Chains A and B, each alone.
Chain A
Amino acid sequence: MLDAPWIIPLLPLLAFAANGLAGRRNPPWTGWVSTLAILGSFVATVVLWIQSTGSDKDSSVLYTWVASGGFDIEIAFLTDALTVVMLLVVTGVSTLVSMYAVGYMDHDANKPRFFTWIPLFVFSMIMLVISDNLLQLFIFWEMVGLCSYLLIGYWYERDSANAAATKAFLVNRIGDFGFAIGIILAFHEFGTLRYREIFDGLGAADPRMVTAIACLLFIGAMGKSAQFPLHVWLPDAMEGPTPVSALIHAATMVTAGVYLVARLNPVYSAAPEALLLVAAVGTFTAFLAATIALTQTDIKRVLAYSTVSQLGLMFLAAGAGAYTVAIFHLATHAFFKALLFLGSGSVIHAMNDEQDMRQMGGLRSKLPVTYATFILGGLALAAIFPLAGFWSKDEILALTHLKATSDPGSSLSTDHGAGIFWVFYFTGLAVSVMTAFYTFRMIVKTFHGKPRNAELHAHAHESPRVMTLPLIVLAAGAVLAGAVLGIPPEHGIIHGYLKYAAGIVHLEGAGPPATLVLALISTVAAGGGLLLALGAYSRGMGIPALARRLLPGAETLFRQKWYMDHIGDGFGVAFTKATAMISWGFDAGVIDGIVNGVGHLSRFTAGQVRRLQTGQAQNYALLMVVGLVLTVGSLVLFR
């Protein structure tokens, strides 16, 4: 099995083909074909993990994709420790989500389509993390984006779903624009796109070019992993079925950007400015998304902004040079965020597709399994000791703190002084408070108190076992993953194993005593946020109303998502369309006008063209364009 890593992507690919051909006949087995194929991949990955030491091996080449004038690209498999960890997360969570979806999508008439795209996604994601070069990664990076597009727009008769799907694709394309440029520049600088050969070439490379490449590649990561300002697609992506949100938009695909930075860690370590950019963008995004999550009323949108925020923390870790910790948090987050999304799906399922928390409340007794597992997931997300999120998030803060306090001149310090990392550290603490607050606000509003919609509440029922079993397995992960993988802090199983990944340098911490103090501080922060939310929302202490009165501007800003969608639609979309209209007017009026003018003069065409060409059509088109530009322009300026 060790010598046959190709079996891992092959199984989901076969399931994709089988379910795709099953098509409209809608046989009952498509969901199970998908689930069993992915389970097979998971088992193969476990075997690979057990048999491998995770240490550097030669990658195995499948075939030459293209060879053109020195631009030689192979499709190849690299199975080092980092890939194996990612494969375990991807195939493990995918198996559970696919199983859950068998129940969730049961009544959907088009479910073969759903179970066609899910294995295609898993295949693409596997090929992404198993790649040994940047171009293969990019190819499947776009393929997972395609699957995301197809699944966000799964209910394609809904205009909102279609708009969200197109938006997701386009925002990701903007990120990939930077990514593609970064890849090509990397090829020009290093003469290769294989990770290992790039790492070997770093010493001789132009440092400014390395920084540029690292920043450009990070733009791609910002798109895929929903970092400011390219995060705007992820909350809208909640239009897709909830299992998709859990799998693609929480646990796996959106973490690809974090994986990219971790995978290329020697490049980033050689480009301190780029690394600082990673940390800054991550920290800011974590903060921004957390503030928005405080005010959302749609249960899935709270989780979506929470995901954006947690991804920001992973980038903070990576930007601090703690790549191992970034992957650790990626793994624990995959468990508890998939759990929370699937739990919210169970609630939505029970509430007849209602997602608004203002219609919920009091579901605790109706959905006991969902409630119990959701609480565990919430505690893990809030990073309460000893659940999974505690271990990984605490390490992020501890290492950020370490960067802030390290002596100038030591190997850990950055060229830009430690001050900025103090900002990152305290922002991270604030995010911890807000995370715990919005998580328990969500739990209380959903499960506690009195039912706010009696009719929906009366019909609510616990989900079938095919859905609750994945919840229980994920809950076990959310409770245990951190402790199992991460004890003792910074020297746990995952840290030890990832040492063997290509290029990863393990960042040593400040030792247990300091860690203990920091752990206490972050626990107090998280606990405080949690208690605040419990007090405010279950006992009616009126904090939200108070906050609204004291900080009306902030509350509106958060609720309006910092007006990012307005800016994107207003400037981005409207500007592009206006430019397009002007171009069309120019084409019809000026260029074709000249052509037809020449035609006018020509006696060959005089008879025919003159009749058709009074000039009026062009004038109308031009007037239309001018009018439209003015209208759109005024809308943008004065809305």
Chain B
Amino acid sequence: MNGTMTTGEAALDFPLLSLALWLPLLVGLPIIVLARSRNAIAIGALMASLAQAVLAIVITVTFDHQATGYQFVEEAPWIPALGISYKLGVDGVSILMVLLTGILGPLVVAAAWLTIHRREREFFAALITLQTAMLGVFVTLDFILFYVFWEMVLIPMYLMIGVWGHERRIYATIKFFLYTFAGSVLMLVAILAIRFTTGTFDIEAIPEEMAGASQILQRWVFVAFFLGFAIKVPMFPFHTWLPDAHVEAPTAGSMVLAGVLLKMGAYGFLRFLLPMAPDAVDEARGLVVALSLVAIVYGALVAMVQPDLKKLVAYSSVSHMGFVTLGIFTATQTGIDGALVQMLSHGVVSPALFFAVGVIYERAHTRRIDELGGLAPRMPIYATLFGFFMLASLGLPLLSGFVGEFLVLVGAFDYATGVGVLAALGVILAAAYMLWMYQRVALGRLRNQALATIPDVNRTEILTFVGLGVLVVWVGIFPDTFVRLLSATTAGLAG
């Protein structure tokens, strides 16, 4: 990028963030547009996303876990007349999301290559645009630039569901769009309100500037931001767009949606709400904690009785994301650390489960649990992999799901014992709906004779699962590899 520069805080005197951010779009997109065959398109997309993944890993590895401020900062004027600049940087709140977005990229490309069989060029173009947009959300430090990326995420996702989706895709798309668009508009109002109070769009500078803001303004900012982000997470009772969007989205779309898009809301809470409206957050804490508890327990209960496999996974997301918002709003360091680890974990496990559903749908053309059953003897590798991610999702220790949820629980008990007890109930329910689902889908006798000759997973599918599984095991066995990156930042966020 021309005109970018790095400040002294960056470990390398090189615009790593810009490179990771724009590489998919600037290199990947032309290849995809110009490529002649389906495979060439996919390889172009794979190369671009792999490069981004490698850069994301490099950024994570070189991230200085002891430094408190932003790292890899790049800053250049963009629209000086309005005080808008091109400013990037990462800290403990965003580093895991950068890693997640990067790693998920090539795996989603692989899933798309397996499951998208029409208009591949457009799909991969949308996917690659999405990769840039999502990373942009997590690394920008200018409010307007952030808003641009935030909206930029919406459009490819909207197209993915609307064009490559299933039967009720139009309904789902409109619901998704209206819901999240409403959130975006509210957010824009909040951004402008902050701009008129503080006189800056600089995310790094705003918290200090907002310290003197009136209680009333903080409350308005809180309401606008909160609704915008709560819809995205989604928090109860703004969650009903999610199951519809997931059910109608193609597999690769569901993977991105569950993996990264849902994390944008939680990221917003941590990046903007907590530092910019701290007093209002304190006032509303009880309500948000209560909504999180409802999401955890209620989401799990609704998941339990879903006849559609994809809806079950979607509602499990509502429950698992409830742990994220709970952790954030306990305002304890352990709770926030737990929320961030849970975001990373859910960002890998949930896409893996959607991919698992997609694998079955490709073969059996059904997602109804009562039409499956007895797959394990016919698809032993698939059953093992699916079982693995099922266990990660229900929070089995030594896999990723346990770490985040346990840390959140530690934080929740710090906040109030009753809150911790109710949240822990979600862990029992998660085991119930996951094991019951697995029992009906993979185990038992074959109920649907059409599945008697169903083939096991192929090499590409195994590779995709394993790619996702590596992070699940790593987070589970060595969580400190990741948690240590957060401490310097989350210590400052804790109340």
A residues adjacent to B (C-beta < 8 A)? 24, 63-71, 138-140, 142-143, 146, 149, 153, 156-157, 159, 162-163, 165-166, 169-170, 173-174, 177, 180-181, 184-185, 187-188, 576-577, 579-581, 583-584, 587, 591-592, 595, 599, 602, 604-605, 608-609, 612
Contact = CB atoms under 8 A, between A and B. Distances in A.
A71 B334 contact: yes
A173 B406 CA distance: 14
A184 B444 contact: no
Interface string B395-410: 0111000110011011
B479 A169 contact: no
Contacts of A181: 413, 420-421, 424
Contact of A584 (B302, B376, B435): B302
A143 B304 contact: no
Secondary structure at chain B's binding surface: helix, strand, loop or mixed?
helix
Nearest to B414: A188
Given A69-B337, A162-B439, A170-B435, 17 more contacts: A64-B480, A66-B480, A68-B483, A69-B332, A138-B397, A146-B396, A173-B427, A173-B431, A181-B421, A184-B410, A576-B304, A576-B432, A577-B304, A583-B298, A584-B305, A587-B298, A604-B174
B487 A68 contact: yes
B436 interface: yes
B377 interface: yes
A172 to B, nearest CB: 9
Contacts of B391: 146
Interface residues of B, number: 64
Interface string B276-311: 000000000000000000000010011011100000
A590 to B, nearest CB: 9
Contact of A66 (B302, B332, B436, B483): B483
Nearest to A163: B439
Contacts of B168: 612
A577 B178 contact: no
Which 5 residue pairs across A and B have the least CB separation, nearest first?
A: A69-B333, A139-B397, A68-B337, A583-B301, A580-B304
A187 B406 CA distance: 12
A157 B446 CA distance: 9
A177 B333 contact: no
Given A157-B444, A181-B421, A69 B428 contact: no
Interface of B: 168, 170-171, 174-175, 178, 237, 239-241, 298, 301-302, 304-306, 332-334, 337-338, 374, 376-377, 380, 391, 396-398, 402-403, 406-407, 409-410, 413-414, 417, 420-421, 424-425, 427-429, 431-432, 435-436, 439, 442-445, 478-480, 483-484, 486-487, 490-491, 494
B334 to A, nearest CB: 4
B397 A24 contact: no
A177 B427 contact: yes
Contact of B490 (A66, A69, A139, A583): A69
A190 B459 CA distance: 50
A170 B431 contact: yes
A551 to B, nearest CB: 38
Contact of B483 (A67, A143, A579): A67
Contact of A170 (B171, B376, B397, B428): B428
A611 to B, nearest CB: 9
Given A65-B479, A157-B377, A608 B410 contact: no
A584 B318 CA distance: 13
Contact of A166 (B174, B377, B435): B435
A181 B423 CA distance: 10
